[in-house]
Amino acid sequence: MLEKKILFPFARIHNPMLVEAHLENGVIQDAFISDTLYRGFEQILEGRPAFDMPYYTQRICGICSSVHAVAAAYAVEQALGMNVPPNGLIQRNLIMGSDFLQNHIRHFYLMSMPDYFKGPDIYPFIPHLEGDLRLTPEEDQRMTEHYFQAIEISRDAHAAFGVFGGKAPHGHGIVPGGCTMHVDADKINRYRGYLVKILEFIDNVMIPDVEFLAERYPEYVHLGKGNGNFLSVGAFTQPDGSTLFPHGTVLNDRHQPFDDRLITEEVTTAWYKSTKPAHPWQGTTEPDKNQPQGYTWVKAPRYQGHALEVGPLARAVIAKEKIIGYGAIGRHWSRVMETKKITQAAMIWLERLVPGAETLNTKVQQESGMGIGYVDAMRGALGHWVKIEKGRVKHYQIITPSAWNFSSRDEAGTCSVGELSIRGLTIKHPELKEAGRVIRSFDPCFSCSVHLIDGKQLRTLDVRV
C-alpha cells in the first residue's frame, strides 16, 4: 500500500524542516526534505563594508556562529592580502573549539538522545515519543541525569567561548586580521578550567554513553548510511600552517585532494530563479517561489556532480581515523570522539598562546580583491566567497554544511545524502521515529538557511519534541 507522510515541523533540529516520506508497505521508498524559510544573506551583505563580514555572517546562525566569523575573516583576509599573527590564529581556534564542544554536547544529549530514552513525566519529555525504547528504568534514569548535566556542561563550553569571544553566541573577538582580545594568564587559566571540566564529562559520561547506545541499538550503527562520498574542507589552522582537521574528499572509496574549482551549485528543484549549475563565483541567489519543480529553499551544491556527505563522520573518514559505522549511531560516535580530539588540541593551543603578544594585524595590501574562506564547521564543509571593491562587498556566496547534507535534487535527479539515508528504512512508528533517528544524526541546521519569514503564513503549531 502506498502512503505519503508529512512531518512538519520536524522537531529537535535547528529550525523548520519538512519531511515528506513516500512509503510502500511500511518501507520508505523516497523522501523529500524541505527547508521552508528563505535565507536572504547574500543580498543583505552586498554593499556593506568588508571588515564587517565576520559580524554580519555570524547572524546566519546561533548554534554555529563562530565558524561563519572565521570563514568570513579568511575570505576577507585573502581578498585584501592580510596576515594574522599566531596569537590571533590560536585564539580563533579556541573560540571555535569551544563552539564545537557546546554544539556537539547539546546535539548529542538534547537533540538526539530523546529518540532513544523515555525520560521522566516532566517537560520536555512529555508527551513521550514512545516506541522501540530499550533502556531499563535505571538506565533511563541515568540517561536523564546525563541529559541535565549536558545542559550545564554545554553552558560551560559557551562560557569558554566568552573568554576570548567576549560573549556567545555571536562573539566579538574574531575580525579580519586576527582577534581582538588581549591575551593574559587569567584568561588562559579560566579557559583551561572550563576545558578540564568538559574533558572530564566527555571521558566519564559522553563516551561511555555513546558506546552504550551503540550496544543497545546495534543496527542503528549502520542504518541510515549515505552514499559513501565524503568531503572535508579542513579546519583549525595552526600557526605552522597545518590543520587539526585535514581537507580532502572520498569519491567511490578513493581519497582525493579537495579542489575548490570542482564545486557547483544549482537550483533545478529549489525556489530560485533558474540558472545553470555554477561555481559560487558566478552563482546568484534570486528567490522565485514559482519554480515549477521547487520544493525547498536549499540549493544543490555538488562536487564533480556528486552529492557528498559532510560532518564529523566525513572528517573521520578523510583523516583515516577509526569509525564504527556509516549509519545514525556511527555518526554520533564520530561526533562524540571529535569532542575529545578538540579538547586535547585546545589544551595544547592554550600553551602556545603568548600573553601580551599581538593578536591582530589590520594592515591591508589592497582595497579590492577576491577571497575564499573555508572552514569545516560543526556540521561539515562551510565556504564563503567574497568579491570586494574599494573595501565594500560586491558579491557574496555561502555554502553551508546542511546545504550539502540536505540539498535539493539536481538536474540529473540525484538527491542529497540526507534524503538517501532514509530510503529503505522500515517504519513502524506513526511519527516516523526511525527516520527521525537517522535524520537527526546529521545534526541538521536549517537556520543556516533561514532569514526572512513570510509573515502571511505564520501560524501557531503544536510541536512534539
> In the complex, which residues of this chain contact ligand NFE (CB under 6 A)?
14, 61, 63-64, 67-68, 377-379, 382, 400-402, 445, 447-448
Q: Residue 61 or residue 342: which is nearer to ligand NFE going by CB? A: 61
Which sign, positive or negative, has the C-alpha torsion 153, 156, 160, 162?
positive
| Class of residue 88 by CB neighbours under 10 A (exposed 0-12, middle 13-18, buried 19+) | buried
Pull the grid cell for residue 171.
562573539
Instruction: Determine if residue 451 is labeled as part of a ligand binding site.
Output: yes
Closest approach of ligand NFE to the CB of residue 442, in Å: 9
Q: Residue 119 or residue 380: which is nearer to ligand NFE going by CB? A: 380
Instruction: Determine if residue 42 is labeled as part of a ligand binding site.
Output: yes
Tell me the H-state helices in 175-318. 185-201, 207-216, 312-318
Closest approach of ligand NFE to the CB of residue 301, in Å: 12
Please report, as a single letter, which amino acid is at residue 461: L
Q: Residue 61 or residue 198: which is nearer to ligand NFE going by CB? A: 61
Pull the grid cell for residue 356.
601580551
Q: Residue 117 or residue 442: which is nearer to ligand NFE going by CB? A: 442
Q: Residue 9 or residue 391: which is nearer to ligand NFE going by CB? A: 9
CA–CA dist 333, 324 (Å, integer)? 7
Distance of CA 120 to the CA centre of its chain: 30
Instruction: Determine if residue 179 is labeled as part of a ligand binding site.
Output: no
Q: Give the strand order in the sheet containing 369-377.
A: 369-377, 380-389, 392-399
CA–CA dist 37, 364 (Å, integer)? 37
Contact 387, 293 (CB under 8 A): no
Pull the grid cell for residue 303.
562536487
Of 57, 91, 50, nearest to 71 (Cα)?
57
Instruction: Determine if residue 3 is labeled as part of a ligand binding site.
Output: no
Closest approach of ligand NFE to the CB of residue 445, in Å: 3
Closest approach of ligand NFE to the CB of residue 166, in Å: 20
Closest approach of ligand NFE to the CB of residue 68, in Å: 6
Of 303, 285, 288, 273, nearest to 396 (Cα)?
285
CA–CA dist 60, 77 (Å, integer)? 20
Distance of CA 333 to the CA centre of its chain: 16
Instruction: Determine if residue 448 is labeled as part of a ligand binding site.
Output: yes
Closest approach of ligand NFE to the CB of residue 194, in Å: 21
**Are β-strands 263-266 and 27-35 bridged in parallel, bridged antiparallel, or unpaired?**
unpaired
DSSP 8-class letter at 416: P
Q: Residue 118 or residue 379: which is nearer to ligand NFE going by CB? A: 379
Closest approach of ligand NFE to the CB of residue 378, in Å: 4
Q: Residue 300 or residue 378: which is nearer to ligand NFE going by CB? A: 378
Cis peptide before 277 (omega within 30 of 0): no
| Those residues with Cβ within 8 angstroms of residue 176's Cβ, 6 or more apart along the chain or in another chain | 50, 51, 53, 54, 72, 73, 76, 77, 80, 82, 362
The length of the chain, given as a count of residues = 465
Instruction: Determine if residue 398 is labeled as part of a ligand binding site.
Output: yes
Closest approach of ligand NFE to the CB of residue 226, in Å: 15
Q: Residue 64 or residue 313: which is nearer to ligand NFE going by CB? A: 64
Instruction: Determine if residue 64 is labeled as part of a ligand binding site.
Output: yes
Binding residues: 42, 61, 64, 398, 445, 448, 451
Binding residues for Mg(2+): 42, 398, 451
Binding residues for Fe cation: 64, 448
Binding residues for Ni(2+): 61, 64, 445
